Structure 1
Amino acid sequence: MASPDETPRVLVVDDEEIARHNLAHVLAREGFIADCADCGEAALEQLALARYDLVLTDLRMPGVDGMALLRETRRRSPHTEVIVITAHANAGSAVEAMKSGAFYYIEKPFRLPEVRKVVREAAEKVRLKRENATLKAALDDAAGRPQILTNAPAMRQLLTVAAGVAPTDCNVLIVGATGAGKEVLARYVHQHSRRATGPFVAINCGALSEELLANELFGHERGAFTGAAGVKPGLIEAAAGGTLFLDEVTEMTPAMQVKLLRVLQEREFYRLGGTQPIAASVRFLAATNRDPAKRVAEGRFRQDLYFRLNVVTLALPPLAERRGDIPLLALHFLSNFAQRMGKAVAEIAPETFERLLAHDYPGNIRELENLIERGVALAPGASLTPDLLPPGIGCRTPAEKYTETPTETHGAPRIAATPAADDGEGRAASEPTRIAPLAEVERRHILDALEHAGGNRALAARLLGIDRVSLWRKLRRFEEDANGAESADDTPLE
């Protein structure tokens, strides 16, 4: 049963008491909250005090009539639908009512089934409008915020830690491979911090020379160097009250590492050419795709700077270690790119999912995003099919031991899959290969699909091209077969 807040609220307006109360009684029996008003003025007073989903009003009433009430209701509450009921129906008033925004125009004497049907349809329209408005507000509120989509236990644990340290204002070092989403995680920390209303400023420390990086971080005074015609605030100033994200921080030169260490220690800095210290009112987040401890051991990164930045370390796992997130991320990217490109690509074919799940993703999430963007751009229809992926994506799993051998077919070279020269145990490639029984092949294929889908049976069924009931039956059969085999092992031979 719906809660009181979810139950549609209706205001019945009619100057005839019997008609008013009879209609309110009928609507109450239909599950609506029905209030009454005996004139237009009273209805406007009630509309000012409560939110109504529907207004059912008589057309002819003294003072504020039904048409005036309709217009004023639509002006005050665009989400409220108005149904006009009258015993004096004519084409002119019907047209005027519909032009003024009435949901429906009912003639008296009306039939109760008709009223019930119209009221239910109007209530459903209001529900959908309010739901869409709520979703739009949520999307607007989330605009610009990082989206971290995951089903992986390791990632959920990482986000819990990130959300826990976010309000503390301590420095955080994010470690992860290129394309794993380090900046997205940094934005997540920023949005969960006390500095969320302040700016988030990012800079790639490995993309600039020492001189340019110093100028970008600290800014300069007029005349600090040739061409410095005026004062330029740096990014540390620009991020005041917010977060400064130093990406690829281990790529800084030794001299820049010393300068950054001083800022972290003293919480102040000088513009290039400046003599007055400026407070560094900023929270520092840093990231690297290297092993920072190894860089310290090699003498390429200062140990004291490492400890200053490494108050908390967040290690992002590569996409290959969270394969269950691949379908979730792929569908998210598909929706985004389809909307951005104005294309009606709405689904990913099961065969495409198989290819995507079998790929190793050296480029991590960024590579997956590029693959989906390419597929949407090339897709001629509503489905992202395997032929839209670049050649070689997910064609073979790492477990397969095959080599690419050129052969000739009608004079044209082709790639053929042949057994490797050695199987790792000293047996020649020409040695006969054991062929697994069909039932065993099916079992392995289904279990592989389940593994690729991260244990999600609905997705595994989709990848296999079967329904969930069929998958469940096959899994139950595998379990029964396994139990039967165990029982057979315990039975003495006769």
Structure 2
Amino acid sequence: MPHRILIIDDEERMRWVLCKALEQESYEAEAAGDGIEGLKMLDKHSIDLVLLDMRLPIMDGMEVLKRIKELYPSLPVIIITAYGSIEMAVAAVKAGATDYITKPFDIDELVIQIKKALDVHRLVDEVEFLRSELSQRYQDMLLSSKSPCMQEVYELVRRIADSDATVLLTGESGTGKEVIARTIHYSSRRADKPFVAINCAAVPDNLLESELFGYEKGAFTGAVARKAGRFEVADGGTVFLDEIGEMSMNMQAKLLRVLQERSFEHLGGNDVISVDVRIIAATNKDLQYAMKSGYFREDLYYRLSVIPINLPPLRERKEDIPDLALYFVNKFDKRKAIKGISKQAMDILRLYSWPGNIRELENAIERAVIICDTNAIQPAHLPISMQTPKKESSVLDIDIPDEGISMEALEMQLIKKALDKTGGNQTKAAKLLGITRSALIYRMQHGIT
């Protein structure tokens, strides 16, 4: 369907010339001789762009522009102005006009401006549509969980979404911390602004500062041009700092200043840049333990945890597994050939302990969808580790004396026994203890006094 363009100009010959030129470019053209007639035509027709002359009888171009922007805020308007009226055109752009062109002008130049304005408008509409879809998707999530513990989380999300308070999300890996962060963002008044995420563990410490705060040309080898950091890009929106527990003490101090002042300088720059952002942080670490061990700043912790939200592991919300599993089936089954999950397969999903939480469930269902050759997922389509129930771990029989027991000392004894049993192999020892190798090393480094 061709774009329809409205020309508002008091010169009849100019209207005729523009209409013919636009029709040759496969546009539909409507014309009005003054602002009042033009506003009536906007009400009557579906217009994609307006060409507006600044000098009009009855109602001048600036007043018409203001009325258009009040009634149709996103409608592109290109100003036509006489040579020598550039200041008026600039004022019009500040008032919401998309662009301007001065008389006399080349028709080809005008056509290029029109195409550019329509392309930008289309992209803006697409972005708004996608943001609306995302917002609805995350709003729907607030109603999807059956487990009481997640209902409590979602109720808190509803209550705090429109505040600017900093949020600290905690929980095991794979419990959906980023999903909750996005839910908060898309449920807030910042939903039409950027959501910018960065994994603090994935960026080397010597690069994290420039990633977060940006840099000036020449700030370091390879800095060939000025670059905005994540905080600058997110202005007006939300910054999500994932794996905040992996941030070095040096970077923690710099982040603390930004939290306090909402301003920073580019690496290699002196100008202070102020931003309006909400900060949501997440970690699977025990930050209070890290504080006591001297690896996380206490002042930063209390700045981040204005609103702490702990996400329960999937094994504690098993009533949500059927709905989550079916959601992932619909997500990955592009052919829509799979009608559901068999009772036997669903029973396996319910009984499994899910150490990798929702992320592990998602991966398991993706695999099942790929290899499924029936209209329902069967036990054989699930990973072997899920099909074969693990033997229950033996329970240690430990007597607790009246004077109490040191958990730290007990933990170190278990680590020592696991290392002795595996001949010092940290990977095997971590497996025996049911933790990751990195978690074992962390406990070895920070637990020994």
Taking the TM superposition and a 5 Å limit, the aligned residue runs for 1:43-192 are 141-143=132-134, 145-146=137-138, 148=141, 149-192=144-187
Aligned mates of 1:250, 1:140 — CA distance in 2: 30
Return the match for 1:202 from 197, 202, 213: 197
Query: What percentage of residue pairs aligned between the two structures are identical?
Result: 46
Could you say which residue in structure 2 is the equivalent of 1:333? 328
Output the TM-score relative to the length of structure 2. Answer: 0.57
Structure 2 gap segments, 5+ residues each: 1-128, 398-449
Shift of 1:394: 5.0
Could you say which residue in structure 2 is the equivalent of 1:395? 388
Amino acid at match of 1:363: G
Return the match for 1:278 from 267, 273, 276: 273
Residues 288-346 of structure 1 deviation map (CA, whole Å, 9 limit, x = unaligned): 0011111111111000000000101000000000000000100111111112xx25011
Shift of 1:191: 1.3
SS at match of 1:167: coil
Flag the 1:140–1:239 CA change in 2: closer, same or farther, 3 A: closer
Amino acid at match of 1:205: C
Shift of 1:143: 3.9
Output the TM-score relative to the length of structure 1. Answer: 0.51
Could you say which residue in structure 2 is the equivalent of 1:235? 230
Amino acid at match of 1:170: A
Could you say which residue in structure 1 is the equivalent of 2:261? 266
Return the match for 1:247 from 242, 250, 258: 242
Flag the 1:193–1:390 CA change in 2: closer, same or farther, 3 A: same
Amino acid at match of 1:355: I
Number of positions where the alignment pairs a residue of Structure 1 with one of Structure 2: 266
SS at match of 1:245: strand
Aligned mates of 2:249, 2:383 — CA distance in 1: 41
Flag the 1:140–1:164 CA change in 2: closer, same or farther, 3 A: closer
Return the match for 2:282 from 287, 300, 303: 287
SS at match of 1:301: coil
Aligned mates of 1:365, 1:179 — CA distance in 2: 5
Amino acid at match of 2:364: L
Shift of 1:423: 13
Shift of 1:396: 2.6
Aligned mates of 1:399, 1:139 — CA distance in 2: 47
Could you say which residue in structure 1 is the equivalent of 2:372? 379
Shift of 1:366: 0.6
Shift of 1:355: 0.8
Return the match for 2:340 from 329, 343, 347: 347
Residues 240-268 of structure 1 deviation map (CA, whole Å, 9 limit, x = unaligned): 00000000001001110000001011110
Aligned mates of 1:374, 1:293 — CA distance in 2: 37
Aligned mates of 1:223, 1:141 — CA distance in 2: 40
Aligned mates of 1:140, 1:365 — CA distance in 2: 24
Kindly indicate whether the alpha-carbon contact (under 8 Å) linking 2:252 and 2:300 is maintained by their aligned counterparts in 1. Answer: yes
Amino acid at match of 1:385: Q
Flag the 1:397–1:151 CA change in 2: closer, same or farther, 3 A: farther
Aligned mates of 2:325, 2:230 — CA distance in 1: 34
Task: Give the aligned CA root-mean-square deviation in angstroms.
Answer: 2.3
Aligned mates of 2:150, 2:130 — CA distance in 1: 23
Could you say which residue in structure 2 is the equivalent of 1:359? 352
Aligned mates of 1:178, 1:195 — CA distance in 2: 27
SS at match of 1:324: helix
Amino acid at match of 1:356: L
Kindly indicate whether the alpha-carbon contact (under 8 Å) linking 1:333 and 1:372 is maintained by their aligned counterparts in 2. Answer: yes
SS at match of 2:255: helix
Taking the TM superposition and a 5 Å limit, the aligned residue runs for 1:216-227 are 216-227=211-222
Aligned mates of 2:354, 2:283 — CA distance in 1: 19
Amino acid at match of 2:153: L
Shift of 1:192: 1.7
Flag the 1:297–1:171 CA change in 2: closer, same or farther, 3 A: same
Amino acid at match of 2:245: T
Aligned mates of 1:139, 1:329 — CA distance in 2: 23
Flag the 1:157–1:394 CA change in 2: closer, same or farther, 3 A: farther
Aligned mates of 1:274, 1:358 — CA distance in 2: 56
SS at match of 1:168: coil
Kindly indicate whether the alpha-carbon contact (under 8 Å) linking 1:190 and 1:200 is maintained by their aligned counterparts in 2. Answer: yes
Amino acid at match of 1:395: T
Structure number, greater radius of gyration = 1
Could you say which residue in structure 2 is the equivalent of 1:303? 298
SS at match of 1:314: strand
Kindly indicate whether the alpha-carbon contact (under 8 Å) linking 1:379 and 1:388 is maintained by their aligned counterparts in 2. Answer: yes
